Every structure is written in structure tokens, then in C-alpha cells.
Copies of this chain bind each other. A is one copy, B any other.
Amino acid sequence: MKMSEGVEWAAHACTVMAALPPDKALRAEALAAYHALAPAYMAKHLQALARAGIVASSRGPKGGYWLAKEPAQISLWEIVAAIDGGEPAFRCSEIRRRGPCPTSRENCKKPCPIARSFHSAETAMRDALSGVTIQSICLDVAAGYKPADAKRFGDWMVATMTDRPPDK
């Protein structure tokens, strides 16, 4: 039960994009460089976020990515679902129906107790992740920033971000 490493990349990238001023964008290569990550692979994950509607994108010169929704409306679970797939980790194979003593047809109407327990546990995890938003993470990070850190980040952002096309 290992989560894709790209989830971490995507989550951090979203926190960076959350600091973008309106009508600005960040290139995939810039978002990768910010954390010293492989540019092509980061691009792949950003594409997944775009497909899920979490970020918007624009091609061509002055292109890039930006958040498609307010940071308070983006949860960690959405990111997990976009990158890693929203399918449940435990997938019941209904092996109870196989073999010499299969479960009766009537009992099969109700889900397998084992599968139900896992489903419930995963729901608890999903609910916990759904309650954490990009905004809350950014506030938490910003609370630990010293003036020098904030200035360095702001300078990098101003030097890196691009004007994105007015429409779309």
C-alpha cells in the first residue's frame, strides 16, 4: 500500500501556485526547479492535475499553470485522486463465492464484511484528507516564515512568474 510519490510533488506545487497573483502563471519547468525535481515528470503530474480540473493551463509563450479554484476549495484528497487514482486501495475479489463452500446467493446480496470494514477505514482516511485544504497548508507554512524567507520567496515568484493570457 504505497502512495505514488507524485502526490507529494503535486501537493507542494499547488501550495506554490496558491501564492500566485491573479492573472499570473508558472511554467512546469519553474515549478519543478523550485523543488529541484525532474522537469518532465513534474509536467506529467501537472497534466494530471489539469485533467482533474484542479489547475488550468495555457500553451505557447507566456504559458504555464495556475490554480483553477480557490485554495480553500482544493483538498488533499482531490490531489490524491488526480495523481494516484481515486480507486479504493482494497478491492474485493469476492473469493467467498469460490471454492467448495461458496457463500449462499442470499448472503452475497450484502457486501463481504471484510470488504465493508476496509471500505469504512478508507472512508475515514478520505474524509480526513478532504478536510485539509491547500489554503490551510499555506497558512500553516506561512506561520513559520521569517521576513527573510518571505522576501526570498517573493523575489523568486516575481522573477519567475509570467503573465498569462487574459481569457480562458
Contact = CB atoms under 8 A, between A and B. Distances in A.
Interface in A96-134: 96, 98-101, 103-104, 106-107, 110, 113-114, 117-118, 120-122, 124-129, 132
B129 A121 contact: yes
A96 B35 contact: yes
Contact of A110 (B80, B100, B144): B144
Contact of A100 (B9, B34, B126): B34
A37 interface: yes
Interface string A133-154: 0000100110011100100110
Contact of A120 (B5, B7, B128): B128
